[in-house]
Amino acid sequence: MFIKKYFFIILLLFDLNFLYAQEQIMVKPTETPIFAPGYIPSQQEAIMYKGDKEYNEKKYKEALQYYLTFLKKEPENLKALKQAAFCYYKLGHHNYAYTLFKKVLEIDKKDKDANEFMNFYNNLMEKKKKQLEQRRWFDSFWRSIVLPGWGQVHNNQIVKGLLFGGAFLTATGITIYCVNDEITKYDRYLITNENHDLAFNKAQEAYNSALLWGIITSVIYLGGVIDAAINYNCDEARQVYLKLDDKGKIYFSVINKW
């Protein structure tokens, strides 16, 4: 009986801990804690709470208004500055977001969120600048001659480059195997004393396979060279843009087009 009661007590404690853990997980990181009963929040606290509530509901335009109102009285509040910057980004106003994060760094040079955003944003601007530069067809052409697929990678067509390179290596490997097989079977044909016709037919089949795969390899190689030269200036082939998730985490997203 004692063991049974002890077991139920442990089970009850486990359930309470599990429910508490679930509640903690469900709390969003940008949300201002609910005020304790009887506590009268200041006007600034109430504005921040409403802004966080709208932000967590993905109402970025409404949240931005609350954060900007908050910043009128506390222009150097780091949380309000960062939340307003995230709102601007979500609304597509990247320059405003950049300006606010720059201000955050003026206040705190070690702020992790601001430094990550600035680094990724600067890299993005550099990539976009390079995409606007005029490319020379010869740069893609000679790279594709040296290594199939390299020309496509130079054109920022990553997937296509990997496919051309992989297809060429695979076809080359099969061709080498078929050539060695043809040589082996032809040597057997020359030294055999019986079944000359059978040995010759096997050697001929191996020769035909080697020839076929040699043609396939050549087509892949030449096709890659021509494709790289034609698409040397395809700026739309690969678009790189900065993206933030709902928690403000920054990462690159890549779209590869054919």
DSSP lists the bridge partners of residue 255 as 239
Which residue has tokens 């009850």? 12
Q: CB of 151 within 8 A of CB of 225?
A: yes
* Per-residue pLDDT reduced to its tens digit, 197-242: 888 899 999 999 999 999 999 999 999 999 999 988 775 444 444 4
Separation of alpha carbons 213 and 171, rounded Å: 7
Separation of alpha carbons 258 and 239, rounded Å: 12
pTM above 0.75, yes or no: no
3-state secondary structure of 30: coil
pLDDT at 253: 43
Yes or no: domain 19-132 corresponds to CATH 1.25.40.10: yes
Residue 156 has pLDDT above 70, yes or no: yes
pLDDT at 72: 93
Helix or strand holding residue 231 (H, E): none
Q: Which two tokens stand for residue 185?
A: 């079977």
pLDDT at 197: 85
pLDDT at 36: 60
Q: How far is CA 26 from CA 7, 22, 187, in A?
A: 29, 6, 74
Separation of alpha carbons 149 and 155, rounded Å: 10
